[in-house]
Chain A
Amino acid sequence: MNGDIRELYQEMIMDHNKNPRNFRAVKDANRNAEGYNPLCGDHFKVSLLMDGDVIKDIGFEGAGCAISKASASMMTAALKGKTRREAKALFEEVHKMLSRKIGEPCDVSKVGKLATLAGVCEFPARVKCASLAWHTMCEALDPTGKQVTTE
């Protein structure tokens, strides 16, 4: 099998795709947003329960490809218990990692397990998949009223 493909669909991603974490609507959520990529059909809702500035609970629902679903699942696992500022900072790091130029090295020390998604940048057509849930989460935190899409 092609090495890039093995790198993209590594075990952790396939595990999150098969057994997504926090794959549910958060009970008593006080922040919600919906992200939709109409061309490819990926469609997720992200819900959060904020306790002051802290993400007390976060969940997601919807359907999409393995990359989008695994990214959403890993995002929820990473953000639970984080403050709004920490969440935003992590978003920036992940965004940098996903959208860097092919072949460009990246510092994954700040993203923890999310480094698993570093290989996505080798597949430019799939960056939008990996980033959909993240943009949806940002919209939930700071609503602009715009339809979230990464296409």
Chain B
Amino acid sequence: MEPSTGVKKFDVEAIRKDFPILEEQVYGKPLTYLDNAATTQKPRAVIDTLTQFYSKENANIHRGIFCLSEQATKRYKSARHRVQEFIHARSDKEILFVRGTTEAINLVAHCYGRAFLRKGDEVLITGMEHHSNIVPWQMLAEQTGIRLKVAPINDEGELILEEFKKLLTQKVKFVSVTHVSNALGTINPVKELARLAHEKGAVVLVDGAQAVAHTAVDVQDIDCDFYAFSGHKLLGPTGIGVLYGKKELLEKMPPYQGGGDMIRTVTFEKTTYNDLPYKFEAGTPHIAGVIGLGAAIDYIRSVGLDRIEAYEQELLAYGTEKILQVPGLRLIGTARKKSAILSFVIGEAHAHDIGTILDRQGIAIRAGHHCAMPVMQRFNVPATTRASLAFYNTKEEIGRLVAALHEVTEVFR
């Protein structure tokens, strides 16, 4: 792994060559991919790993007494170890493979929530959560009678800490917050929130979907009890994600799904469950996805998250300045601590019209409510247009975006 130094020049052109899709054209224009909060592009290292696995190494794991199966098992285990290192978990038994962040949160709401939360207990979330960190708790509320409370955000899109503290009463047994808001870019002070929650005896989950590809995460330093993220927002394949959970919690939680791999012995009278992490991984897992995720983590570590973060912050500052020169444009989400997400509205122009105009210039952005309808309601907009940056984006691409937005204002003048 290359040492990360802020001083060494960040060679974005060299990095772009690692991503084959960035050479593509759309409507005869170079692809300007600015929808990284939805999903990131994949480096050749990940694509090749998947091809190699399926063309030369494919076998099921934990079963076969043959060479390929043993190799696949070894690579699968090694990927889990690399995830552990990547987020600085204490043990690889604390790393569970799931389909994505959504399944990770649902697993916790289902297994921890149903077993340990009681009618009258409260779950506290924030006003900037993605639907995947709202709906599982609402479903749990219907099933168990727990109460869901929402800590409000201010006009900049920041969590109002005083309100959070006020809502954090003894009744709150679980706090579930996003690390970085997908709709606003706001970075939450998750370490502090975890500390406050633990003072009241609440268990803490952090939704890291928008964080892991943009900043170094240390789950022990944050001291959260659960941390969830998706592989595909981290340069890896879709359909694979991670739930980190503290061992003592995972051990006392009942299993998620029943089936193969999660058992030790089965008779028709009684089944005993396997140890961590297998207790939570019933059925043949997404083996190629896990191995691909391992390759994605190797790649991102070779670039260095410190350097990625510094470069993306530079892009964000540049993009913010340029985009605000577009007449009538209003940024939604202006937190002091922000990830490289530019969410905005322009006068009367609807986000989908903006999206169509940008698309014809080869610019891929997200237009809509970003699966965060309550955030749209908070800012009283039906939808926003969102450009979300990654470390392979350039100032030139931001220039293209801004030029196309000027075109939008011409159409909608």
Contact A129 B410 (CB under 8 A): no
Q: Which residues of B contact A1 (CB under 8 A)?
A: 407, 410-411
Report if B240 contacts A (CB, 8 A).
Answer: no
A40-B383, A126-B356 are known contacts. Are A65 and B361 too (CB-CB below 8 A)?
Answer: no
Residue of A at shortest CB range from B28? Answer: A2
Q: Which residues of B contact A64 (CB under 8 A)?
A: 350
Report if A9 contacts B (CB, 8 A).
Answer: yes
The one of A5, A63, A67 that contacts B360, using a Cβ cutoff of 8 Å: A5
* Interface residue tally on B, bucketed by range: 20 to 34
Bound-state Cα–Cα, A4 to B356, Å? 10
The one of A8, A39, A66 that contacts B350, using a Cβ cutoff of 8 Å: A66
Report if A143 contacts B (CB, 8 A).
Answer: no
Q: Which residues of A contact B383 (CB under 8 A)?
A: 40-41
Task: Give, as a whole number of angstroms, the nearest-CB distance from B408 to chain A.
Answer: 10
Write 6 A-B pairs (CB below 8 A) sorted by A numbering. A2-B361, A8-B356, A14-B411, A66-B353, A67-B352, A126-B356
Report if B221 contacts A (CB, 8 A).
Answer: no
Query: Which residues of B, 368-413, contact A by the 8 Å Cβ criterion?
Result: 368-369, 382-383, 407, 410-412
Contact A126 B411 (CB under 8 A): no
Report if B135 contacts A (CB, 8 A).
Answer: no
Task: Give, as a whole number of angstroms, the nearest-CB distance from B372 to chain A.
Answer: 12
Contact B356 A5 (CB under 8 A): yes
Contact A4 B411 (CB under 8 A): no
Report if B45 contacts A (CB, 8 A).
Answer: no
Residue of A at shortest CB range from B369? Answer: A41
Q: Which residues of A contact B357 (CB under 8 A)?
A: 2, 5, 9
The one of A2, A5, A65 that contacts B352, using a Cβ cutoff of 8 Å: A65
Bound-state Cα–Cα, A140 to B186, Å? 43
Task: Give, as a whole number of angstroms, the nearest-CB distance from B88 to chain A.
Answer: 37
Query: Which residues of A, 31-59, contact B by the 8 Å Cβ criterion?
Result: 39-41
Task: Give, as a whole number of angstroms, the nearest-CB distance from A68 to chain B.
Answer: 8
Contact A129 B352 (CB under 8 A): yes
Report if B13 contacts A (CB, 8 A).
Answer: no
Task: Give, as a whole number of angstroms, the nearest-CB distance from A108 to chain B.
Answer: 22
Contact B407 A65 (CB under 8 A): no
Q: Which residues of B contact A66 (CB under 8 A)?
A: 349-350, 353, 412
Report if B348 contacts A (CB, 8 A).
Answer: yes
Residue of B at shortest CB range from A18? Answer: B348
Bound-state Cα–Cα, A41 to B345, Å? 15
4 new A-B contacts, CB < 8 A, other than A14-B411, A65-B351, are: A1-B411, A4-B360, A40-B352, A123-B356
Q: Which residues of A contact B361 (CB under 8 A)?
A: 2
Q: Mark B331-360, 1 if CB is under 8 A from A, else 0.
A: 000000000000000001111110011001
Bound-state Cα–Cα, A14 to B383, Å? 19
Bound-state Cα–Cα, A40 to B369, Å? 8
Q: Which residues of B contact A9 (CB under 8 A)?
A: 353, 357, 411
Q: Which residues of B contact A126 (CB under 8 A)?
A: 352, 356
A9-B411, A40-B383 are known contacts. Are A65 and B360 too (CB-CB below 8 A)?
Answer: no
Q: Which residues of A contact B410 (CB under 8 A)?
A: 1
Contact B382 A63 (CB under 8 A): yes
The one of A8, A14, A41, A129 that contacts B412, using a Cβ cutoff of 8 Å: A14
Bound-state Cα–Cα, A67 to B353, Å? 8
Q: Which residues of A contact B350 (CB under 8 A)?
A: 64-66
The one of B360, B368, B369, B382 that contacts A2, using a Cβ cutoff of 8 Å: B360
Q: Which residues of A contact B382 (CB under 8 A)?
A: 41, 63
Q: Which residues of A contact B348 (CB under 8 A)?
A: 17-18
Query: Which residues of A, 70-110, contact B by the 8 Å Cβ criterion?
Result: none
Contact A41 B356 (CB under 8 A): no
Residue of B at shortest CB range from A10? Answer: B411
Q: Mark B58-71, 1 if CB is under 8 A from A, else 0.
A: 00000000000000
Bound-state Cα–Cα, A123 to B355, Å? 11
9 nearest interchain CB pairs?
A: A65-B350, A65-B352, A2-B360, A66-B353, A9-B411, A41-B382, A65-B353, A41-B383, A5-B360
Task: Give, as a whole number of angstroms, the nearest-CB distance from A130 to chain B.
Answer: 12
